Amino acid sequence: MSKKIQIGTDIVSVTRFAKSLATGNFIEKIFHLKEIEYCDQKALSGRIASYAARFAAKEAFSKAVGTGLFVQGISPRQIWIENESSGRPVLCFSENISKFLIEKGFSSADVSLSHHEEYAIATVILYSL
């Protein structure tokens, strides 16, 4: 029997997203501390694109799981990206989100991020148990 997968993809305009980053405490409301530390060590254009790609990953996750952000107890800060030493992005979850995924029948996830000039994109794949 093959594993069931669910896929979500999201694309973000980097220029438009830069405006969101400049508003109030948007960064602290949306991003996990590890993402903030990672993105803030980059030069300005790379920082904005990295934040945009990570936001796209959060949206792609919500599409793959079939909810929206801020729905069913899903907060964007509970989903974050860390990078392996090779640079490969890894999707990480809070304990609450991990339990939620298990309840929904998912055992693991993959993420792919990319950004170029005006756009950042992310794809999330969720695998069944």
pLDDT, tens digit, for every residue of 36-92?
Answer: 999 999 998 899 999 999 999 999 999 999 887 777 777 899 999 999 999 999 999
- Give the integer Cα–Cα distance in Å for 38 and 72: 28
Q: Give residue limits of the domains in the chain.
A: 5-128
- Give the integer Cα–Cα distance in Å for 100 and 111: 18
Edge-to-edge strand list for the sheet holding 119-128 = 5-13, 119-128, 106-116
pLDDT at 1 over 60: no
Residue 71 has a pLDDT of: 72
Residue 111 has a pLDDT of: 98
Residue 62 has a pLDDT of: 92
Q: pLDDT: is 9 or 2 the higher one?
A: 9
- Give the integer Cα–Cα distance in Å for 7 and 26: 26
pLDDT at 2 over 80: no
The answer for residues whose C-beta is within 8 angstroms of residue 40's C-beta and 6 or more apart is 47
- Give the integer Cα–Cα distance in Å for 38 and 54: 11
Query: Is CATH 3.40.50.720 correct for 5-128?
Result: no
pLDDT, tens digit, for every residue of 40-53?
Answer: 999 988 999 999 99
